[in-house]
Amino acid sequence: MGYSLGIDFGTSGARAMVIDHQDQVLAEASYRFPDLSPEERTDCWQEILWALIGEIPADVRSHLQAIAINGTSSTILLCDAEGKPLYPPQMYNDTCDPASLELLTTLAPAGHPVLSASSSLAKLLGMSRTVDMTSVCYLMHQADWLAFLLHGRVGLSDDHNSLKLGYDPALGQDRSTSRGRAIPTDLVGYPDWFHQPPLNQLLPLLPQVIRPGSNIGPLQPHLVDRFGIPSTCQICAGTTDSIAAFIASGANQPGMAVTSLGSTLVLKLLSPTRIDLADYGIYSHRLGKYWLVGGASNTGGAVLQSFFSPSELTELSQHIDPHQPSSLTYYPLLKPGERFPINDPCLEPQLTPRPEDPVEFLQGLLESLARIEAQGYHLLVAHGAPPLKVVYTAGGGAQNIVWQTIRQRHLQVPCYAAQHQQAAYGTALLAAHGSPL
């Protein structure tokens, strides 16, 4: 049995992880991205890709059977017929110009996930109105392009990266669902509204979309020679960094959820039912035979960080009795405006009354975040998601055991820190098993 390599290109760096047939980690390498000008990005990504693979011990590389890559969602490149980027990439947090978003609003259905200034389609439309498109043949996401460097086939993507490009996984269903099946050549999955100008001119640039984890093709021969990887090693369709982190958690049953307690509060719940509620920014990615339903709140760790240093968060938390609720009810936000679980663009931060004792204040904040998290899951369940069974936790807040106890009280289900939180691990699982569910 061979090994599987998952490669994560995240927001601040890249990481590679190799797992064996029992999903145990055999090797790991990582790099932080240096400060880069937009023009330097693709060359740097390519160098880091080779460096990561080069750091895997040769005796591990010689047993690789599958490789998959995840990238940041909505990071896109415009490439020529050979897959060479023609312009600097548009990054996940870049936005299109307001006029292009306004135009898109007249073309896509109200509330569609593409209707955000940072969506892949908004960026593509924006670029198509400002740069010379004569030589542009392919739109590629970051993960598509990096995988292309390995397998050499242009114009392929996965349905996770393509959701914010307008691809509808329900329209493109049941294509290339199993490992090793031939990739169909038709372009399905892009809805009818793509056939109106000016989107119809962009249609030929859009990738053919296949299931995350399905085989695309073997590693290119020159890389087989360079890295001593078997010529049979398959490159698989990838995913986005946040879905890879969900897969890494091991959540694999309806009702299992992952809360990310990072700068923001992000909820993802596995559901047999697809839920798209644009008003709340809730949308669903297909994950195996289920749907991964998610929502992101503007509240989260960034607010904690605005009041406390990391060491204060650790130290003060130890003085909180998680079983003795305070009477404080906050809505912690850095600035007005919330979308999920309350859709109110003008919602004011609620951070008073502020007790003098910082332990009490922190307790009020942690309880309030737990209440908002529970409210988020209730909203998903109220719209058809299954009842919560268990919540795995990722992100900087996952280490806080006191908070975990408070959250458990609010969520009424067991909460655990996810055993594996690295997106690279989730992507290695994807490479190893194809669709994880």
The residues binding ligand ADP (CB under 6 A) are: 262-263, 301-302, 304-305, 310, 313-314, 317, 395-397, 399-400, 403
* Contact (CB, 8 A) for 131 and 78: yes
Nearer to ligand ADP, 119 or 317 (CB): 317
Structure tokens, 327: 């009477």
| Distance in Å, CB of 391 to ligand ADP, minimum | 16
> Where do runs of H (alpha helix) occur along 217-256?
221-227, 241-249
Nearer to ligand ADP, 208 or 427 (CB): 427
Between the alpha carbon of residue 368 and those of residues 278, 320, 331, 365, the distances in Å are: 25, 14, 7, 5
Nearer to ligand ADP, 271 or 299 (CB): 299
Contacts of 193 (CB under 8 A, 6+ apart): 107, 108, 109, 199
Q: Other CB atoms closer than 10 Å to residue 47's CB: what's the count?
A: 12
Nearer to ligand ADP, 67 or 372 (CB): 372
Nearer to ligand ADP, 214 or 400 (CB): 400
Q: Report the interhelical angle of 41-55 vs 142-151 (nearest 10°).
A: 60
Q: Other CB atoms closer than 10 Å to residue 34's CB: what's the count?
A: 9
DSSP state of 6: E
For the chain, give the number of residues.
437
Q: Report the interhelical angle of 358-382 vs 401-411 (nearest 10°).
A: 40
Instruction: Dump the DSSP string for 160-211.
Output: HHHGGGT--TTTTTTSS-STTPPPP-S--SS-GGGGSTTHHHHGGGSPEEE-
Structure tokens, 162: 């393509």
Nearer to ligand ADP, 205 or 417 (CB): 417
| Distance in Å, CB of 408 to ligand ADP, minimum | 15
| Distance in Å, CB of 277 to ligand ADP, minimum | 23
| Distance in Å, CB of 317 to ligand ADP, minimum | 6
Nearer to ligand ADP, 156 or 369 (CB): 369
| Distance in Å, CB of 394 to ligand ADP, minimum | 7
- Nearest-angstrom CA–CA distance, 95 and 98: 9
| Distance in Å, CB of 49 to ligand ADP, minimum | 22
| Distance in Å, CB of 211 to ligand ADP, minimum | 28
Nearer to ligand ADP, 273 or 399 (CB): 399
| Distance in Å, CB of 306 to ligand ADP, minimum | 9
| Distance in Å, CB of 240 to ligand ADP, minimum | 14
Structure tokens, 101: 């978003």
- Nearest-angstrom CA–CA distance, 354 and 330: 10
* Contact (CB, 8 A) for 67 and 5: yes
| Distance in Å, CB of 82 to ligand ADP, minimum | 35
Nearer to ligand ADP, 108 or 411 (CB): 411
Nearer to ligand ADP, 220 or 399 (CB): 399
- Nearest-angstrom CA–CA distance, 296 and 368: 16
Between the alpha carbon of residue 414 and those of residues 149, 352, 389, the distances in Å are: 42, 30, 8
